[in-house]
Amino acid sequence: MAVTTPDGSTVHTSLVQGWGRSFDMKWVVIGLCISVVAWLALIPLGFLIWQSFASTSTAQVPAVFTLENYATAFGTTDSLGLMFNSLKFAFGTAAFALVLGTFFAWVNERTNTPFKSLFFAMSIVPLIIPGILFTVSWIMLASPQIGIFNQIFRDWFGLATPLFNIYSLTGMIWVDGLHYAPIAFLLVTAAFRSMDPSLEESALMSGASVIQVAFKITLKLAWPAILAAFLILFVRGIESFEVPALLGLPVGLRVYTSAIYDAVHSYPSDIGLASAYAMALLLITSLGIYYQSRLSSQGSRFSTVTGKGFRPRVSDIGRWRYATAGIFILYCIFVVALPFLVLLWASLQKYYAAPSWAALHNLSFAAYGEVLAYPGFYGVVWNSAKLAIGGATVVMLLTSVICWITIKTKIPGRWVLDMLASLPLVFPGIVLGLSLMIFYLNFDIGIYGTLWIMLMAYVIKFLPYGMRYNSTSMIQIHKELEESAAMSGASWFTIFRRIVLPLLKPGLMAGWIYIIVVSVRELSSSILLYSPGNEVISIMIWEFWQNGQYIELSAFGVMMITALFGFLMVVQTLSKRFGVKDV
């Protein structure tokens, strides 16, 4: 840039040149992002649809167009039962989690129940106890054969038949519902907090009791948010893989996710049928997400945010506060204490045995040694670390550009980009795994069976999370901050690197950490994409379970939970210092 001459026209020309150059760079980056997102989100989906209409190809017979997969997937009484099971399971899980979560949100936000500081600590539990470990621990607690609860009731009360059977629809709903309750808690808490407290205070002044206020005012006002939370949980439930696979499959209780896994892993594997199931699953999740987003966008009639800073009022519920605290503590026991303790107990045994005085003498750390000496252990941990950090970094950087385009520019059709990046919300993990598997089996570019395909799965799956974290921060960056940088002569790339990214940092870091944590637990996509030699942590746990190595599984699980907990504690401490948003 010619800035040496103090002549006005020269400076002017140099500015125009500067803009011209940055203009080109901008379009390169934008174009690259759009094509990457479109490729990531659309191609596997399109291929999945095509595959669902294709017959199974063998060496002799090429695939032809057929409706047979759909006929098998929807036309038999068996398949109707499958759909029914899936819906019942998802509905039950969502309803149970929502009732628990809403109750805890109300107790925490509106009553003087003791131990309140624990409520938010509880909400990170699903982050540190992965679904597969949680499910396994509940098998150890309540399976008819080895379940500790059943043994206690048998020994103490002389019951002949086991009291609890975790291998049932009720058992599945119980385990998944307990695990998802913190999500419901966070969603409903947000709704309760955005409410003008005087709406409830005026009901109280009108003579309504605390319970009347809760049911006639608080819940009614939060109803759209609660319904949206229900849909989110319903979609989570229908996508859930660990619980149906570990609790349903052994007794032939199949839902769509476990049926897909079954179809792929049976011999010969039936990809067409799996694809048809996947289409059914996609249809249900798409409907759920669609209604949820409609509900969230039309909440204006009930919008009760006044922006006025009242302290939320807390009702004295008298002696009932001991009851509410009791229910919460019971929940903590069911969701943290018992699962962790049963894993810890199992990890200290030589052979799996229920807790007893006799077994207490056999405690040893042998299992931990075995896990650490397991062939490929460090490789597995290293794989998980590479995938988690790599995936999180790619997602956050990619979505930062996408968010910039969708929020800061007026490019026509930018909503398409927004929609594409949010599309993976409707992909259940197992469907994503299936579609990537089929696509890269057919179009061999050398990534099938490597870590790259898993990285791709993680990037696609967590793209919507990155969008959410980045867009909230991006909205807060004032346009003039960029414009003044442009007026100072910076190119688009420089502006993005020196102005936008640093200002995004709090959201960027929070999203990055969150994606790392959820990547480490990812199972439902990885299960169809891993191959021997590139297992990850969650797959190793899965294999331990399949091999009946409960002791090693428990030791590994305890180490994993401790490590995740430690990681989050370190992050929490650091984030206070560096102003990272809450994860």
Partner 1 sequence: MLSVENLSTTYQAPGAKPVLAASNINFSVPTGRLFTLLGPSGCGKTTTLRSIAGLERPSKGVIKAHDTVVYSSAGNIFVAPNHRQFGMVFQSYAIWPHMTVFQNAAFPLQVQKKRLSSKDIRDKVMKVLAAVSLDHVEEREATRLSGGQQQRLALARALVMEPRLLLLDEPLSNLDAKLRDKMRFELKKMQRELGLTTIYVTHDQSEALALSHEIAVMNEGKIVQIGSPRDIYERPANTFVADFIGTTNFVEGTVRGGADDRLVVDTRIGQLNVNAQPGISIGANVSLSIRPEDVHLSDTAPAPSSNSLFVGTVRAKVFLGECQDFKIDVNETQLLARAHPSVRTLVGEQIHIAIDPEKCTVLAA
Residue 40 or 214: the one with the smaller Cβ distance to partner 1 is 214
Write down the least CB distance from residue 324 to partner 1, Å: 17
Cβ neighbours around 556 below 10 Å, total: 26
Give me the residue label for tokens 């499958």. Answer: 82
Question: What's the min distance (Å) between Cβ of 228 and partner 1?
Answer: 16
Region 411-450 residues binding partner 1, contact defined as CB under 8 A: none
Q: Does 212 bind partner 1 (CB under 8 A)?
A: yes
Phi and psi of 54, rounded to 5°?
A: -110, 145
The residue type at 119 = F
Q: Is 301 or 410 the residue whose CB approaches partner 1 more closely?
A: 301
214 touching partner 1, by CB under 8 A = no
Cβ at position 571, least distance to partner 1 in Å: 22
Rg (CA), the chain: 26
Contact call for residue 562 and partner 1 (CB under 8 A): no
> Is residue 313 near partner 1 by the rule CB under 8 A?
yes
| Residue 356 makes contact with partner 1 by CB under 8 A | no
- 491-498, long-range: CB within 8 Å, 24+ apart, which pairs? 491/18, 491/21, 491/22, 491/25, 492/22, 492/23, 492/25, 492/26, 492/29, 493/22, 493/25, 493/26, 493/29, 494/22, 495/22, 496/29, 496/401, 496/404
Of 63, 165, 201, 503, which lies in the binding site for partner 1, with binding defined by CB under 8 A? Answer: 201
Instruction: Kindly write out the interface string for residues 216-235 of this chain, putting x where it contacts partner 1 by CB under 8 A and - elsewhere.
Output: xx--xx-x------------
Torsion of CA 363, 128, 537, 339, to 10 degrees: 40
**CA–CA separation, 532 vs 117, rounded Å?**
44
Instruction: Pick one of 5, 76, 206, 547: the residue that binds partner 1 (CB under 8 A).
Output: 206
By CB under 8 A, is residue 209 in contact with partner 1? yes
Distance CA 509, CA 470 (A): 10
| Distance of closest approach, residue 224 Cβ to partner 1, in angstroms | 10
CB of 349 to partner 1, least distance (A): 43
Residue 206 or 266: the one with the smaller Cβ distance to partner 1 is: 206
> Nearest distance from residue 191's CB to partner 1, in Å?
13
- Continuous H helices in 209-319: 210-213, 219-221, 223-239, 242-243, 256-265, 271-297
**# residues contacting partner 1 (CB under 8 A):** 29
For residues 405 and 410, give the distance between their C-alpha atoms in angstroms, rounded to a whole number: 8
In the list 202, 266, 364, 562, the residue contacting partner 1 (rule: CB under 8 A) is: 202
* Minimum gap (Å) between residue 100 Cβ and partner 1: 24
Q: Which is nearer to partner 1, 213 or 273 (CB)?
A: 213
Sign, CA torsion 146/152/153/157: positive
Rounded CA separation 97/237 (Å): 10
82 binds partner 1 (CB under 8 A): no
The reply to whether 198 sits near partner 1 by the rule CB under 8 A is: yes
Number of H helices, E strands in the chain: 29, 0
In terms of Cα–Cα distance, which of 242, 265, 260 is closest to 179?
A: 242
Query: Interaction with partner 1 in 269-308: which residues (CB under 8 A)?
Result: 301-304, 306, 308
Question: According to the binding rule CB under 8 A, does residue 309 interact with partner 1?
Answer: no
Residues 138-197 interacting with partner 1 (rule: CB under 8 A) = 196
Q: Which is nearer to partner 1, 50 or 302 (CB)?
A: 302
Contact present, 469 and 511 (Cβ < 8 Å): yes
Shortest distance, position 223 Cβ to partner 1, whole Å? 8
Name the residues that contact partner 1, by CB under 8 A: 196, 198-199, 201-210, 212-213, 216-217, 220-221, 223, 301-304, 306, 308, 311, 313, 316
